[in-house]
């Protein structure tokens, strides 16, 4: 893989259409060598389509880009040879053992014979599967499969790794262990491009691009997104049966949006103090006393909710102006 470029990944006005549907709408971004770059958005936002174009699986409709110095349109085969790619479905063969899966991918990536044994042991140790090397893959838990899939994707020691929703369907403990592996990889200089819809995971990324309806609506480090893109303030409400009260809380004047966060609700508003008084007045009228309310720093999910709401409002305004 070439190393003479300032960015491991860069795209300019990248677009992908399927008939009349625009899946990716002329996006531009770049990824620095050795960083964890998060590509966040809800299902259907364009994350997987983008990652498939970057991995040489799909051809763009228009735009340009490079991965590891190779052109995403003219040099797709070279890109495939030099990257690691882990899809959200864990491309493993369930009827093969752990070791047989590793052997298979060693062949796919043409690992030299004198290196196969060493790389196989590395994958088994990294994934924690040394004692399960003879187990059939279908017997493994989601977390074990996840780590085995990662090991198979990077057995050829690529300097750029693409992970498409890698933690989807796994438990929180497995997700944490997986992110520990990702961080260890970047300490060795590997660039990691990861897509996810788990907002709390984004705190692990060096930089993030938020994608919605095919377009990038914000980009920056987690702290930059929270400090520079969130104009509103956030109130946290805790009370029994908060689910049943969310709709009523969202209808209070000055509440721009309300969303559930575990056993609490986050209210987005331009004036937390004034809105807090209105919420207390509402609870008083409803004869509710068992609650807590406080202003908190916005989470990345709060930022994303706010940006989506603003995006939808501006889009509606523009469309109304044209009609």
**97-132 residue pLDDT tens:** 999 999 999 999 999 999 999 999 999 998 899 999
Give the strands of the sheet with 207-212, arranged side by side.
Answer: 83-86, 160-164, 191-196, 36-40, 207-212, 215-220
Residues 183 and 297 in one domain: no
Residues 236 and 216 in one domain: no
Residues 193 and 256 in one domain: no
CATH number of the domain bearing residue 75: 3.40.50.300
Per-residue pLDDT tens digits of the chain, which is 323 residues long? 554 468 999 999 999 999 999 999 999 999 999 999 999 988 889 999 999 999 999 999 999 999 999 999 999 999 999 999 998 777 899 999 999 999 999 999 999 999 999 999 999 998 899 999 999 999 998 889 989 999 999 999 999 999 998 887 778 888 888 899 999 999 999 999 999 888 888 899 999 999 999 999 999 999 999 888 888 899 999 999 999 999 999 999 999 888 888 889 999 999 999 999 999 999 999 999 999 999 998 888 888 888 888 888 777 667 666 65
For residue 83, the SS3 value is strand
Using CA atoms, how far apart are residues 269 and 275, in angstroms rounded to an integer?
Answer: 7
**59-79 residue pLDDT tens:** 999 999 999 999 999 999 999
Last residue of a domain, one of 172, 192, 220: 220
How many independent structural domains does the chain possess?
2
Last residue of a domain, one of 202, 220, 238: 220
| Bridge partner list, 220 | 208
Residues 296 and 190 in one domain: no
Last residue of a domain, one of 160, 193, 220: 220
For residue 98, the SS3 value is helix
Q: Does residue 233 lie within any of the structural domains? A: yes
Which residues constitute the domain of residue 317?
A: 227-322
Residue in this structure with the two tokens 């409002």, named with its chain if needed: 313
Residues 39 and 173 in one domain: yes
For residue 110, the SS3 value is coil
Residues 162 and 198 in one domain: yes
Using CA atoms, how far apart are residues 161 and 154, in angstroms rounded to an integer?
Answer: 7
Q: Does residue 1 lie within any of the structural domains? A: no
């Amino acid at each position: 893989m070439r190393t003479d470029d300032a960015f491991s990944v860069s795209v300019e006005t990248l677009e992908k259409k399927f008939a009349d549907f625009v899946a990716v709408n002329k996006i531009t971004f770049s990824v620095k060598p050795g960083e964890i770059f998060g590509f966040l958005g809800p299902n259907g936002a364009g994350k997987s389509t983008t990652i498939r174009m970057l991995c040489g699986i799909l051809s763009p409709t228009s735009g340009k880009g490079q991965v590891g110095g190779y052109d995403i349109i003219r040099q797709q085969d070279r890109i495939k040879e030099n990257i690691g790619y882990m899809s959200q479905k864990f491309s493993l063969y369930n009827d093969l053992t752990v070791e047989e899966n590793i052997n298979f991918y060693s062949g796919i990536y043409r690992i030299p014979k004198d290196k196969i044994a060493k790389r196989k042991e590395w994958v088994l140790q990294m994934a924690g599967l040394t004692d399960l090397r003879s187990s059939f893959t279908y017997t493994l838990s989601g977390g074990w499969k996840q780590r085995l899939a990662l090991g198979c994707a990077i057995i050829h020691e690529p300097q750029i790794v693409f992970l498409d929703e890698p933690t989807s369907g796994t438990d929180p403990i497995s997700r944490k262990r997986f992110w520990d592996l990702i961080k260890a990889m970047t300490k060795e200089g590997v660039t990691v491009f990861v897509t996810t819809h788990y907002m709390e995971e984004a705190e692990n990324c060096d930089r993030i691009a938020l994608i919605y309806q095919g377009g990038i609506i914000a980009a920056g480090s987690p702290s930059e997104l929270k400090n520079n893109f969130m104009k509103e303030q956030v109130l946290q409400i805790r009370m029994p049966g908060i689910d049943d009260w969310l709709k009523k809380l969202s209808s209070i004047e000055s509440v721009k949006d309300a969303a559930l966060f575990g056993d609490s609700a986050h209210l987005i508003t331009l004036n937390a103090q004034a809105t807090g008084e209105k919420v207390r007045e509402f609870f008083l009228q409803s004869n509710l006393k068992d609650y807590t309310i406080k202003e908190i720093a916005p989470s990345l999910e709060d930022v994303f909710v706010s940006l989506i709401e603003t995006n939808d409002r501006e889009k509606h305004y523009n469309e109304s102006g044209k009609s």
